[in-house]
Amino acid sequence: MTINQGIYNNEILDPGMLEATGLYMPDDGTGLITINAGDPATIDISATTGVFTNPETGETKKVEFAGVTAHTPLNFGSNSGTFYYFDINGGLVERNLIEVGSFIRSHVMLGITSDNGTIITGTSSYSLITRQSGSVAWHELLNSVQWVKRSGLVVEPNGANLALNMTAGVAIVASANNRVDVNNPHINTYSAITGTGNLIFELWRSDGVNGETLQLINTAIQAGVYDDGTAISTDTSPQGVLQPNKWTVHHVFFVQDFGVLAIQYGQSVFDNAVDAVAGVVSSPFETLPSFTSVLPACALLVRGAATDLSTETDGIFRVTDKTGNFR
């Protein structure tokens, strides 16, 4: 009997991507398929723990798989393979063929057995089959989260001023790299961003299209202002006055198509930095329509009289998680 372990999570998607999307089984030596010592016609599967995220609601669920002992494979003796999964209730599921589509949104593959003494269709074509399944699962999950930050892409202060840098990095975006590298269609590498020449500022305008107008301003962040929604088309900055020791929360986005950072000015005023930190996730914030397809990068908390974002007395950076949620 030939056993192929953990094809799904080990060969298709790296653990960081799986943890970010919620469809994950740890690569820690658990959930392994072995031939039963007393009966070579049966198998044992060790216990493991999976994590699932509902792609529609975002709800995360931890699932315990208890494992099995002396289990007879579904297709034993038929010169064919058996594909093993566990489902969102921790139950073992066996299939004649590798599954795709909605099935793999709620199942994790444990491995594959074949009793004919060889890998089912040969190493190369077998790999293609499993990768096809994985790409379907990944594409469906990616559509639910839009993007995943794989590494880098960290927004930082640009010295002792009110400008920003962003480190180089890699993001996973659906089909963003398809024309360049069909073998890695969702993985894109981005260059670092430095200084004011790569900053775009946006604010709500009472007479703009969809309430907003884009402003390209190659300058630093404006201190002492917040977006109170009263600006009109002739204004080049928010009209809300942010007192010297009050705080607001700007949302910073990465516009991957142009390699720039877009800053949407804060819409609320906080009495102090502690309240502003809490307000990142609790205070109302209306995102401009133009930011529906860009990558959320960080929340930037700024004091009204700020002059140096490299000090926490003037600026606090709260990076987004892997899937772009402000926290």
**What pLDDT score was predicted for residue 115?**
62
> What is the residue-wise DSSP string for 44-93?
EE--EEEEEE-TTT--EEEEEE--EEEEPPTTTTTTSEEEEEEETTS-EE
Which H or E run contains 318?
A: strand 315-319
Residue 293 domain-assigned (yes or no): yes
**What pLDDT score was predicted for residue 57?**
60
**What pLDDT score was predicted for residue 130?**
32
Name the domain boundary from 128, 145, 162: 145
DSSP conformation class of 210? T
- Residues 61-109: pLDDT tens digits? 778 889 999 998 887 777 677 888 888 888 999 988 777 656 766 777 7
Residue of 175, 177, 174, 158 whose CA lies nearest to 166? 158
Name the domain boundary from 145, 167, 185: 145
Tokens of 250: 């700007």
**What pLDDT score was predicted for residue 245?**
96
Domains contained in the chain, number: 2
| Claim to verify: residue 66 and residue 158 sit in the same structural domain | no
| Claim to verify: residue 117 and residue 185 sit in the same structural domain | no
| Claim to verify: residue 116 and residue 209 sit in the same structural domain | no
Going 298 to 301 to 305 to 310, the CA torsion angle's sign is negative
Per-residue pLDDT of the chain (327 residues; tens, 9 = 90+): 555 554 443 334 444 444 444 455 665 677 888 888 888 778 888 898 877 666 556 566 778 889 999 998 887 777 677 888 888 888 999 988 777 656 766 777 777 777 654 433 333 222 222 323 344 445 555 555 567 777 889 999 999 999 999 999 988 776 667 667 656 667 788 899 998 888 888 888 887 666 676 666 678 999 999 999 888 878 888 899 999 999 999 999 998 878 889 999 999 999 999 999 999 988 888 888 777 768 889 999 999 999 999 999 999 999 887 777 777
Residue 43 domain-assigned (yes or no): yes
Residue-number span of the structural domain to which 102 is assigned: 2-145
Residue 325 domain-assigned (yes or no): no
| Claim to verify: residue 236 and residue 247 sit in the same structural domain | yes
pTM over 0.75: no
Say if CB 102 and CB 77 are below 8 A apart: no
Going 164 to 169 to 175 to 176, the CA torsion angle's sign is positive
| Claim to verify: residue 121 and residue 161 sit in the same structural domain | no
